[in-house]
Amino acid sequence: MSKFNLYEDDEIRDLMGENLRPGGLKLTKDAVEFCQLKPKAKLLDIGCGIGNSIAYLEKNYDVDVIGIDPSEKLLNIARNNHPKLEFIKASAENLPFKSEEFHMVLTECSLSLVEDIKKGLKEITRVLKEDGYLIINDVYAKENTYLKELKKIPINTCMRSLHDIDELRFILENYGFNIVLFKDYSQYLKELMVKIIFKYGSMSVFWSENINNCMDINEFQEMFKKSKPGYFTMIAKRGKGNNGRNIL
Ligand SMILES: C[S@@+](CC[C@H](N)C(=O)[O-])C[C@H]1O[C@@H](n2cnc3c(N)ncnc32)[C@H](O)[C@@H]1O
């Protein structure tokens, strides 16, 4: 199913600001400081969008950064804004890197957009070094009943693919990760929704302008609300002896 990429829309990017997700660079800073990010560490940002997180990290932490994203449009903005940084067109499911190349992988509101999450996480496991960190800032559902229905809307937004935290934790632990931090940041999602309502008048107007009549807006909103959406940071540390080769 081909989907409209909401983040390529100029109006949406203006609304979101420096990052195309809730929480901005504060969450990036808090997460890398928790992991005690070292100078010269090699870091991959998966779904880097317009590249502001890696630009911030390269400037403030003297790290070696690469950003990947499947959107040519967003990558062009990233390349224009940060001409000295490296951006590659690629998806999480097929990472064009050697095994165990990175000390840290960031997925900021992008893992929820990965169609085949197991394949994406398998690739992440492969490219991370032993004891490397995976940082996930993303949306989740506090109530899981409607998640399959929500996924049916043909639009590329994290809001249709809220994580089931238990399932995410289960996959990561099976792939040899230890979850070293889980923190709820739902207030940032609320702040983004307030911004949307301020600009569009209501969430219904926002969705009807962006979902293109593909499903009943009220039905979608009802399922979204009942899913009790939240926002989180999860930090997972790759265990020893598992570089993704033996994972199903
Ligand atoms: C909500 S935006 C977040 C962008 C950026 N991480 C930030 O913090 O501003 C989600 C990004 O994930 C990208 N994306 C979508 N599907 C992806 C995939 N399969 N693999 C990697 N990135 C993907 C989108 O193109 C978009 O740039």
DSSP string, 23-76: THHHHHHHHHHHTTPPTT-EEEEET-TTSHHHHHHHHHH--EEEEEES-HHHHH
| Predicted pLDDT at 213 | 59
Query: Is 64 inside any structural domain?
Result: yes
Domain that holds residue 32: 4-238
Q: Is 46 in the pocket of ligand 1 (CB under 6 A)?
A: yes
Q: Is 107 in the pocket of ligand 1 (CB under 6 A)?
A: no
Q: Where are the alpha helices (DSSP H) in 44-202?
A: 52-61, 72-81, 117-127, 147-150, 165-174, 186-200
- To the nearest whole number, what is the mean pLDDT of the chain? 90
Query: Is 20 inside any structural domain?
Result: yes
Residue 19 CA: which ligand 1 atom is closest? Answer: 9
Q: Count CA atoms within 13 Å of residue 226 on its CB side.
A: 12
- Output the six-digit token pair for 203: 């969430």
Residues with Cβ within 8 Å of 129's Cβ and at least 6 positions away in sequence, in order, are 100, 101, 102, 103, 238
The residue whose C-alpha atom lies closest to atom 11 belonging to ligand 1 is 47
d(CA 33, CA 30): 5
Mutate to test the pocket of ligand 1, among 69, 136, 196, 210 (most ligand atoms within 8 A of CB): 69
Mutate to test the pocket of ligand 1, among 52, 110, 139, 162 (most ligand atoms within 8 A of CB): 110
CATH code, domain carrying 53: 3.40.50.150
Q: From ligand 1's centre to the CA of 74, what distance in Å?
A: 9
For residues 206 and 188, is the Cβ–Cβ distance under 8 A?
A: no
Q: Beta-carbon neighbour count of residue 100 at 10 Å?
A: 16
| Predicted pLDDT at 229 | 95
The larger pLDDT score, comparing residue 246 to residue 78, is at 78
d(CA 144, CA 227): 6
Confidence of residue 1 (pLDDT cuts 50, 70, 90): very low
Q: Please check the confidence at residue 144 and state whether its pLDDT lies above 50.
A: yes
DSSP state at residue 10: H
Residues with Cβ within 8 Å of 84's Cβ and at least 6 positions away in sequence, in order, are none
Query: Is 245 inside any structural domain?
Result: no
The single residue listed with the structure tokens 């809220």 is: 162
Query: Is 134 inside any structural domain?
Result: yes
Split into its structural domains, the chain has a count of 1
Q: From ligand 1's centre to the CA of 100, what distance in Å?
A: 22
Query: Is 66 inside any structural domain?
Result: yes
Query: Is 248 inside any structural domain?
Result: no
Residue 92 CA: which ligand 1 atom is closest? Answer: 20
Q: Is 92 in the pocket of ligand 1 (CB under 6 A)?
A: yes
For residues 65 and 45, is the Cβ–Cβ distance under 8 A?
A: yes
The larger pLDDT score, comparing residue 108 to residue 246, is at 108
Mutate to test the pocket of ligand 1, among 3, 7, 157, 210 (most ligand atoms within 8 A of CB): 7
Give percent above pLDDT 70 in the chain. 92
d(CA 54, CA 106): 9
Query: Is 247 inside any structural domain?
Result: no
Q: Is 161 in the pocket of ligand 1 (CB under 6 A)?
A: no
Query: Is 246 inside any structural domain?
Result: no
Q: Is 20 in the pocket of ligand 1 (CB under 6 A)?
A: yes
